[in-house]
Amino acid sequence: MESLDAERCVACHADSPRATRDEIETLKPQIPLWKIETGNNVPTLERVFKIRKYTSALSFTQNIGEFANEEGHHPKIVIEWGKVTVSWWTHAINDLHRNDFIMAAKTDRLFEKTSS
C-alpha cells in the first residue's frame, strides 16, 4: 500500500464521499499522533506540534501553507508560544475525507524534516 504522504489530494465537492468508519480505521494508524476531534458537529483531524522557538513555529506554518496551497486543501492553523495546532477537515462536506488523512501525513513528514 502506498504511504499516505505520497498521495495527492483530489478535488472535493458537496457530494464527495465522506470517510467511512472502515476507511478511518484503516487510515488512522498511519497518522497515530493525530486525534479526531469534533467541534460544531464537524469531525477534524487535529495535532499539536511542540516547537520551542516562535520563529520556527512561523516557518513551519509557512511551509504547511505552501504545500496546502499546492494541494488545494487548507487547514486551520493556530500558532501559540511553544506549539502549533493543525486541524484538517474537508470544508466542502463538513466531514473527514481521505484528503485529510493525506494532508495530516504530509504535515507529519514536514515536521520530521524541519525538527531534525
**Does 46 or 4 have the greater pLDDT score?**
46
Residue 84 · residue 78 · CB < 8 Å: yes
Check pLDDT > 90 for residue 2.
no
Greater pLDDT, 114 or 46: 46
Q: Where are the domains of the chain?
A: 29-115
Longest pairwise C-alpha distance within the chain: 42
Q: Check pLDDT > 70 for residue 116.
A: no
The predicted pLDDT at position 44 comes to: 97
Checking 21-26 for CB contacts under 8 A at 24+ apart, the result is 23/98, 24/96
pLDDT for 40-52, tens place per residue? 999 999 999 999 9
Give the per-residue pLDDT at 6.
Answer: 85
Residue with cell 511542540: 50
* Mean pLDDT along residues 47-76: 95
- Residue 53: what pLDDT? 93
Q: Pairing relation of β-strands 83-88 and 42-50?
A: antiparallel
- Choosing among 3.30.1360.20, 2.60.120.260, 3.30.565.10, 3.40.50.1470, the CATH entry for 29-115 is 3.30.1360.20
The pTM assigned to this predicted structure is 0.94
State residue 55's pLDDT score. 93
Measured at the alpha carbon of residue 100, what is the angle toward residues 82 and 53, in degrees to the nearest 5? 15
Other beta carbons within 10 angstroms of residue 105's beta carbon come to 20
pLDDT of residue 1: 58
Inter-CA distances, 99 with 27, 41, 80, 116, Å: 11, 19, 26, 26
